[in-house]
């Protein structure tokens, strides 16, 4: 990887200039947005953008650990769809017996977390114990969850019972002190993630495993356990993201969470984590997520560009955001 050409250029957390890369890109976007549309910085719009980012954001934090430890997970999008479907089915199923209300919501949440844990465990097991390329494993599970949800929904859409929707709705739309729950949860996950990455042994071990798993093994780090845990945590976070997602529209279908995996991975890399593993930073990922959802937002707030070209603009900005970063790196 070009990143390791023996020169002394490398990201040193918090120190060198390339840290500025993502932040700069974000700032540029904010400025552009503000100059294009006066409502861009309105509380409403900011709340919208942040709340929307929460799903990908929460997942991307987990993805940061997976990638840092040298792994990859393409299945998160379909996994989210599948878990959402499951959650809805369970809640609809228990509605007659339990009736609409918070107890049932908690059952739903539990379902999501348990399913997420299990899904993460399956990925982790196939990758660590069966020693299969993470890419293949998660490509496989991606297809599996996607078609399972299609099957559960009979090709259509699984919708949460209306009565229940009213109960669960606040989880996405309400909040604390004017900050909506998704934003709060995202913030919490990000902060905890950042601390774990920098201040807990697990973060170090993940980086060590990603940097050189043999060395980690010789240094009595339980490599398989670390790898497994990264996938399980990711699974749990997918569950959490789903808990935020279901209340929004109260439905899940085969088109739920399509391409979330690519967005999450892109966010992680834009944030400065190395795809080959060995170095990761959660705060960078958060910025990456914000960059991605700001692009969408800005494109919607501006006319002029043919909507057909949105994808192209997105692509260009993603690449630019990373160039910016690499350039800085070169100097640092």
Partner 1 sequence: MTAALSLAGICRSFGPVQVLGDVDIALAPGRVHALIGENGAGKSTTMKIMSGYLAPTRGTVSLNGEPVIFAGSQDAEGRGVVLIHQEFNLADQLTVEQNIFLGHEKRRGPFLDKAAMQAESRALLERLNCRVSPRATVRDISNADKQMVEIAKALSREARVLIMDEPTAVLTEREAEVLFEQVERLKAEGVAVLFTSHKLDEVARISDDLTILRDGRVVSQGLTAGFDQDGMAEAMVGRDVSSLYPERRGAIGPGTALEVRGLTVPGHATDVSFSLRKGEILGLSGLIGSGRTETMEGLVGLRSATGEVRIGGKPVSLKSPKQAQAAGLCYLTEDRKSRGLLLDKGMRENLTLQCLPQFTDWLIDTAAEEAALTKAIAEFDIRAPSRGVAVGNLSGGNQQKLLIAKVMLADPDTVIIDEPTRGIDIGTKQQIYEFIHALARAGKSIIVISSEMQEVIGLADRILVMRTGRIAGEVSGVEMTEDRIVRLAMGLGARREEAA
Partner 2 sequence: AQDTRVIGVSIPAATHGWAGGMNFHAQEAIDRLEEVYPELDFVLATASDPGKQVNDIEDMVATRDIAALVVLPFESEPLTGPVKAVADSGTWVTVVDRGLAQEGIEDLYVAGDNTGFGRVSGEYMVSALPEGGKIVALRGIPTTIDNERVAGFEAAIEGSGIEIIDMEHGNWNRDDSFTVMQDFLSKHGEIDAVWASDDDMAIGVLAALEQSGRDDVQFVLGGAGMKEMIGRVRDGDTMIPADVTYPPAMIATAIELTAIGLTSTAPVSGTFTIGSVLITQENAEEYYYPDSPF
Residue ranges in contact with its own copies by CB under 8 A? 1-6, 70, 126, 128, 130-133, 135-137, 139-144, 146-148, 150-151, 154-155, 212-214, 217, 262, 265-266, 269-270, 274-275, 306, 308-312, 314-316, 318-319, 322-323, 326, 330
Q: CB neighbours (10 Å) of residue 245?
A: 28
x-marked contacts with partner 1 along 217-236 as a string, rule CB under 8 A:
xxxxxx--------------
Least gap, CB of 34 to partner 2 (angstroms) = 11
Least gap, CB of 265 to its own copies (angstroms) = 7
The C-alpha atoms of residue 225 and residue 124 are separated, in whole angstroms, by: 9
Which listed option, partner 1, its own copies, partner 2, none, makes contact with residue 204 (CB within 5 to 8 Å by class)?
partner 1
- Residue 69 and residue 209 in contact, taking contact as beta carbons nearer than 8 Å: yes
- Tokens standing for residue 320: 């630019």
- Residue 22 and residue 284 in contact, taking contact as beta carbons nearer than 8 Å: yes
* Residue ranges binding partner 2 (CB under 8 A): 37, 39-40, 42, 44-45, 48, 52, 55, 150, 153-157, 159, 162, 165, 169, 173, 245, 248-251, 253-259, 296-297, 300-301, 303, 306-308, 310
The C-alpha atoms of residue 23 and residue 193 are separated, in whole angstroms, by: 19
Which listed option, partner 2, its own copies, partner 1, none, makes contact with residue 330 (CB within 5 to 8 Å by class)?
its own copies
Q: CB neighbours (10 Å) of residue 225?
A: 14
- Phi then psi for residue 245, to 5 deg, are -75, -45
- Strand, coil or helix: what is 253? strand
The C-alpha atoms of residue 138 and residue 148 are separated, in whole angstroms, by: 15
Among 28-36, 51-59, 74-82, 210-218, the segment contacting partner 1 (CB under 8 A)? 210-218
The C-alpha atoms of residue 111 and residue 232 are separated, in whole angstroms, by: 15
Buried b (16+ CB within 10 A) or exposed e, 276-297: ebbbbbbbbbbbbbbbbbbbeb
Among 57-65, 121-129, 173-181, 205-213, the segment contacting partner 1 (CB under 8 A)? 205-213
For residue 14, give Cα distances in angstroms to 19, 20, 206, 269: 7, 9, 19, 17
The nearer residue to partner 2, 46 or 114, going by C-beta atoms, is 46
The C-alpha atoms of residue 326 and residue 70 are separated, in whole angstroms, by: 20
Please report whether residue 279 would count as binding partner 1 according to CB under 8 A: yes
Least gap, CB of 250 to its own copies (angstroms) = 22
Least gap, CB of 276 to partner 1 (angstroms) = 9
The nearer residue to partner 1, 172 or 283, going by C-beta atoms, is 283
- Which positions lie near partner 1, rule CB under 8 A? 3-8, 10, 12, 15, 195, 199-201, 204-205, 207-208, 210-212, 214-222, 274, 278-279
């Amino acid at each position: 990887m070009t990143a390791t050409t023996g020169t002394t250029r490398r990201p040193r957390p918090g120190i060198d200039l390339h840290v500025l890369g993502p932040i700069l890109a974000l700032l540029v976007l904010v400025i552009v947005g503000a100059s294009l549309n006066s409502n861009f910085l309105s509380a409403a719009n900011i709340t919208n953008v942040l709340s929307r980012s929460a799903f990908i954001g929460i997942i991307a934090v987990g993805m940061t650990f997976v990638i840092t430890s040298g792994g990859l997970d393409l299945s998160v999008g379909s996994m989210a769809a599948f878990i959402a479907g499951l959650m809805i089915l369970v809640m609809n199923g228990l509605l007659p017996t339990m009736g609409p209300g918070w107890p049932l919501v908690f059952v739903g949440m539990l379902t999501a977390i348990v399913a997420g844990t299990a899904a993460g465990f399956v990925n982790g097991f196939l990758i660590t114990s069966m020693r299969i390329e993470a890419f293949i494993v998660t490509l496989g599970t991606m297809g599996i969850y996607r078609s399972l949800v299609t099957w559960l929904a009979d090709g259509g859409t699984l919708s949460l019972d209306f009565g229940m929707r009213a109960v669960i709705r606040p989880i996405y739309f309400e909040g604390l002190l004017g900050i909506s729950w998704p934003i709060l949860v995202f913030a919490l996950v990000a902060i905890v993630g950042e601390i774990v990455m920098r201040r807990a042994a697990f973060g170090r071990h993940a980086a060590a495993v990603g940097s050189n798993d043999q060395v980690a093994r010789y240094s009595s780090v339980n490599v398989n356990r670390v790898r497994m845990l990264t996938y399980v945590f990711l699974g749990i976070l997918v569950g959490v993201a789903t808990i935020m997602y279901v209340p929004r529209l109260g439905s899940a279908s085969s088109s739920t969470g399509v391409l979330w995996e690519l967005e999450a991975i892109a966010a992680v890399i834009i944030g400065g984590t190395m795809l080959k593993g060995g170095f990761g930073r959660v705060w960078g990922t958060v910025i990456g997520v914000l960059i991605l959802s700001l692009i969408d937002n800005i494109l919607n707030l501006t006319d002029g560009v043919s909507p057909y070209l949105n994808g192209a603009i997105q692509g260009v900005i993603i690449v630019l955001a990373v160039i910016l970063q690499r350039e800085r790196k070169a100097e640092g």
